[in-house]
Amino acid sequence: MRDTLTILGLESSCDDTAAAIVRLSGDAPDEGVILSSVVAGQTELHADFGGVVPEIAARAHTEKLDLCVEEALDAAGLTLHDIDAIAVTAGPGLIGGVLAGVMLAKGLSVASGKPLVGVNHLAGHALTPRLTDGARFPYLMLLVSGGHCQFLIAKGPEDFERLGGTIDDAPGEAFDKTARLLGLEQPGGPSVEREAQVGDPKRFRLPRPLLDRPGCDMSFSGLKTALLRERDQLIAAKGGITRQDRADLCAAFQASVSDVLAEKSRRAIRAYLALSPDAPTLAVAGGVAANKSIRGALETVCAETGVMFIAPPLALCTDNAAMIAWAGIERLRAGHTDGLDLSARPRWPLDQSAAPMLGSGKRGAKA
């Protein structure tokens, strides 16, 4: 392997258009340096529709991707000639967006003569703790965002075992829907968390779905239905809900999600520790990991079980291209590149041997 590898990464699988440049030097073979990372969000474009509209997302990616690449190169003070390979999210995600990224990456690869590396978006998230903290395999990973929710044991750059995941909504999606039901602004996670700070989590008792069943699978869609019922009962009784009612509902919802994630993490840790890892570690990724109450609950579980807790900086937990560039480096180091027949895959489970999830991540069919 060459002493230094400099990789351009592209990400366009959901509603963030991103480009980044990550460098790996021979001096620190397990740590990447992010030379630049540009993310152009699309929240405003989708704001009127209550969710990501795939066609609007795809068009915006097509318009923004090359600008993001230019910006990432400028910020790193590099040109395409200085890049060793081009890594791109080839799935899973919204097909129009993934295609936009894959087509641009192929064009750049042909124009520059640099190799192309197709990356699984979930592998990007799952390998981030190596980029940020040099995590050693095997480590346990919890992906919790608007589109993903699963426990994985990362055993190698392309070797992941899924222990379980949501069978319906992802937790971020449930936060977003809860915010909508209570008239709070999107994205729902931060709004619900803000309200919950002044709420009583015990006034309403919402369910803890699937805790009565063994294993690490989760379900979050019933929670918002239970919350809707409580809200409607309040409206029927009093003609509306007060600020305090809203805060109490948010607190109850957040407590339920925290409890479920904590208990399922406990179970996932038990299964993971059976592998006798040298440096037991649980890492989180995804926007929901920003939630202080959820993060606190996970930290407590880790402290109880003697497992190290890693939460990468939020900008690297949410969708970004630095994680794609890093996953590209890991794939390239393992000797893999892709040809111009690289295809965009809307579904692409990390653990091909695990049973397919029922409807995991309706926002982006994240498999």
Q: Crossing angle, helix 292-305 and helix 188-196, to 10 degrees?
A: 80
- Minimum CB separation of residue 117 from ligand KG4 in Å reads 21
Beta strands in 145-198 (DSSP E): 149-156, 159-165
Sheet containing strand 308-310, strands side by side: 159-165, 149-156, 139-144, 281-285, 308-310
- Minimum CB separation of residue 333 from Zn ion in Å reads 23
Give residues 211-270 in contact with ligand KG4 (rule: CB under 6 A): none
Between CA 335 and CA 324 the distance in angstroms is 16
The DSSP 8-state label assigned to residue 113 in this structure reads: T
| Nearest CB to Zn ion, comparing residues 161 and 319 | 319
The pattern of x and - marking residues 128 through 167 that bind ligand KG4 according to CB under 6 A reads -----------------xxx--------------------
| Nearest CB to ligand KG4, comparing residues 194 and 243 | 194
- Minimum CB separation of residue 75 from ligand KG4 in Å reads 21
Question: Which two structure tokens, joined as six digits, stand for 355?
Answer: 């049973």
Of 51, 54, 190, 207, which lies in the binding site for ligand KG4, with binding defined by CB under 6 A? 190
Of 187, 207, 222, 277, which lies in the binding site for ligand KG4, with binding defined by CB under 6 A? 187
| Nearest CB to ligand KG4, comparing residues 150 and 318 | 318
Between CA 286 and CA 168 the distance in angstroms is 17
For residues 98, 104, 106 and 109, what is the CA-based torsion angle, rounded to 10 degrees? -140
Stretch that binds ligand KG4, among 81-89, 160-168, 265-273, 283-291 (CB under 6 A): 283-291
- Give the max Cα distance, the chain: 70
Q: Could you tell me how far CA 194 lies from the centroid of its own chain?
A: 21
The listed partner (ligand KG4, Zn ion, none) that binds 287, CB under 5 to 8 Å by sort, is ligand KG4
348 forms part of the interface with ligand KG4 (CB under 6 A): no
- Minimum CB separation of residue 217 from ligand KG4 in Å reads 19
Number of Cβ within a 10 Å radius of residue 155: 14
Tell the burial category of 50 from Cβ atoms under 10 Å away from its Cβ (0-12, 13-18, 19+).
exposed
Nearest to 65 by CA among 12, 106, 6, 122: 12
The listed partner (Zn ion, ligand KG4, none) that binds 289, CB under 5 to 8 Å by sort, is none
| Residue number closest to ligand KG4, CB atom | 189
Give residues 319-338 in contact with Zn ion (rule: CB under 5 A): 319
Stretch that binds ligand KG4, among 53-61, 85-93, 214-222, 286-294 (CB under 6 A): 286-294
Of 11, 168, 169, 176, which lies in the binding site for ligand KG4, with binding defined by CB under 6 A? 176
96 forms part of the interface with ligand KG4 (CB under 6 A): no
**DSSP 3-state of 165:** strand
**Hey, what amino acid is at 154?**
A
**Hey, what amino acid is at 43?**
T
201 forms part of the interface with ligand KG4 (CB under 6 A): no
188 forms part of the interface with ligand KG4 (CB under 6 A): yes
**Hey, what amino acid is at 137?**
F
Using CA atoms, how far residue 119 sits from 3, 327, 329, 339, 348, in Å, is 22, 7, 10, 13, 10
Give residues 182-201 in contact with Zn ion (rule: CB under 5 A): none
189 forms part of the interface with ligand KG4 (CB under 6 A): yes
Between CA 22 and CA 321 the distance in angstroms is 9
Where does this chain bind ligand KG4 (CB under 6 A)?
14, 145-147, 172-173, 175-176, 187-190, 193, 286-288, 290-291, 318-319
